[in-house]
Chains A and B, each alone.
Chain A
Amino acid sequence: MYGSDMCALDRIDLTIEPGEHVAVVGANGSGKSTLLKMLDGLVFCSSGAIAAFGHTLTEDSLEEPALRREFRSRVGFVFQDADVQLFCNTVLDELAFGPLQLGMEPDEVRARVAEVAAALRIEKLLDRAPYTLSGGEKKRVAIASVLTMRPQVLLLDEPTNALDPRSQVWLLDVLREWKAAGRTVIIATHDLTAAAESCERMVVLSEEHRVVADGAPEDVLSQRALLLSVNLIHEHEHRHGGIGHTHDHAHGHTHG
């Protein structure tokens, strides 16, 4: 609930298996980001329960140092707004922040930082202050800052937002690599193309904050009436020369 009477998510019943790549899609305000924050133990439900790795996630249980350490080392969250996520002085400090918080030895942290920086091609940025980076560079650094923790589960909130086409392709390639590596990935997005290309399961949230579909992307995307009702596509009317016609128009970057 937001405040006393505003519902953020309603009657959500969701189980995600290890290694699954799941896209949570829905219009703006449907509750996607809130769901990810709940899965990361940052906000908690007013009724019901969330469990991960055999533990129930509550404010109290995550206060317990051993569980908090275990949970944070296994779940990484890439925020929608990279400016929020990059709070350290330099990119190097940013990448090292998570592993150092987990109590890892500096030499091991240095090795991880070097490995991730090379993989994401951001070695030249290590000495820079995050606020001097471009939007695409910030996104890479935000993702790298989570990858240095080597999480088993990655939560990504609108990962393709504010990315230029080349960076979007790069991100989709990264997601495929994670899939091959057996990582669990949960993406919140309204970009149906990215969701369909990177995930094998699609969960649709309605504007009433409920799950209204849960299945393979091809099955979900074939339900035109459903997608129209949840405001993920809309009818688009335009003309080619003298001939006018109507077709569906998806949010994000697709024309289909």
Chain B
Amino acid sequence: MIPAVAHIGDAAPRRRAGARSVARRTADAIAGAVGEVLENDRLASLPGLMQRLDPRMKAVSIVLLAVVTSFVHSIPMLLVLVVATMLLAAASHVSVGSFARKVWASAGFFGVLLSAPAATAWITPGPVVVALGPLSITAPGLLVAGRLILRVAAGAGFGLLVVWTTRWSDLLRALGAMGVPDLVVATLAMTQKQIMSLLRTVENMHLARESRMLSAGSARENRGWVVERMAFVARRSMKTADDVYDAMLARGFTGAMPSLVDLRASDRDWLWLAATVVACTFVLLIDRMVFPL
């Protein structure tokens, strides 16, 4: 005889039409985040221009470009830098469309958010271009705002190029080679790995809940559940940290994280660095001489 607890219910699960539960949205978001990390790894393994560079040289040259970007004033030269990020993306087998979308999603949002007040007559007086009631947008204000948005776009583009064309492990090695302490590099490495592991745990928890839910649940119930799970994940991450430390001790951990991989810069890497320095110099010279303030 089948015990009562094993009987299959007659009622079909009912869900509000069109409603996506918090569990489903969270699980989808987590799956998206995990997928993005794996996609980054795939991009970083392609045989493109940026991927072939020594990660230290790449990091130094990109920092240099980002610093120069912050000194450039003219809109045409900032546009040149934005276009340069896209050309570099294309030369690195990165889809220019998705690169531009990613850059402009952040640059557009944060740039507009930061520069909007500067476009008004209150902050930047001048000839009014658009008047929206008490709010007046001035021509010099628009210039300031445009400059800020383009700077953010170029800077974000250079940063994204490093992240998308360098494997996380190489980036960490580059940090180590550039003098960042072993302990910091090891902590960063383990943090990323544990985040991936915990993301999968959280995704499974949400899916397990969804599989037993007949409705999306009230917002209050969902909030309570999310808080409980956060506490669970926090406890679990602390236990995992202890276990990982035990695993390190078991293999003789002495406090250092030496690696077999030797980073060696080739002639191509030095050439790239030299070309970057020359390009940065030209950009600054043209900005100052052709487009003086």
Interface residues of A, Cβ cutoff 8 Å to B:
37, 40, 42, 68-69, 72-73, 76-77, 79, 81, 83-90, 92-93, 96-98, 100-102, 106, 109-110, 113, 129-132, 145-146, 149
Contact = CB atoms under 8 A, between A and B. Distances in A.
- Specify the main secondary structure of chain A where it touches its partner: helix
Contact of A42 (B167, B173, B249): B249
Given A84-B240, A92-B261, A96-B259, A101 B253 contact: yes
Contact of A84 (B173, B244, B252, B259): B244
Interface string B247-258: 111111110111
Interface in B70-116: none
Interface stretch (B121-129, B189-197, B283-291): B189-197
A73 B254 CA distance: 13
17 contacts: A72-B251, A73-B252, A79-B243, A79-B246, A84-B240, A84-B247, A87-B189, A89-B173, A90-B169, A97-B251, A98-B252, A101-B253, A101-B256, A113-B260, A129-B41, A130-B193, A131-B197
Contacts of B197: 83, 131
B275 interface: no
A78 to B, nearest CB: 9
Contacts of A96: 259-260
Contacts of A100: 258-260
B251 A146 contact: yes
A42 B240 contact: no
B260 A102 contact: no
Given A83-B197, A84-B244, A89 B250 contact: no
A6 B118 CA distance: 65
Contacts of A97: 251
B228 to A, nearest CB: 23
Given A42-B250, A87-B190, 6 more contacts: A79-B247, A81-B243, A92-B261, A93-B169, A101-B258, A129-B167
B38 interface: yes
A129 B252 contact: no
A37 B242 CA distance: 13
Nearest to B253: A101
B250 A77 contact: yes
Contact of A93 (B244, B249, B260): B260
A84 B243 contact: yes
Given A42-B250, A93-B169, A101-B254, A131 B196 contact: yes
Interface in B6-28: none
